Amino acid sequence: MQAIQIMSALAQQTRLQVFAELARAAPDGLSAGAIAERTSTPANTMSAHLAILSRAGLVTSTRSGRSIVYKAVEEAVRGLVAFLVNECCDGNPEHCQDIIENLRLDLGSPKPEAT
């Protein structure tokens, strides 16, 4: 788990915005130009941001004709959340039940029924 690299990459406002745009554009992804336009970021600056996100394992890129299409690696964020919950809960998920419930609600998942 590259938790520090992922958190560091997402700790910058433009990169967080880029990742959010790519997550919303899933599964198709976006070209670097489209991302730069959506975030009002100069192309050379966008290139640097995408390189940092790529090194952190948050985005992948593939060539499509003359463009490079970038896609969010959603598994990286899921892995980060799982890592944080496990580390904070010290292997006892019941310690983090409130966090887990809030994540479910924030993500629109139904709350599990009481047994």
Q: What is the pLDDT of residue 110?
A: 52
Q: Does the domain formed by 3-73 have CATH 3.40.50.300?
A: no
Asked if the peptide bond before residue 42 counts as cis, ω within 30 degrees of 0, the response is: no
- Portions of the chain given CATH number 1.10.10.10: 3-73
Averaged pLDDT of the chain: 86
DSSP label at residue 58: S
> Would the pTM count as exceeding 0.85?
no
Task: Report whether pLDDT(115) > 50.
Answer: no
Helix, strand, coil % (nearest 5) of the chain?
60, 10, 25
For residues 22 and 36, the answer to whether their CB atoms sit within 8 Å is no
Q: What is the mean pLDDT of residues 83-90?
A: 78
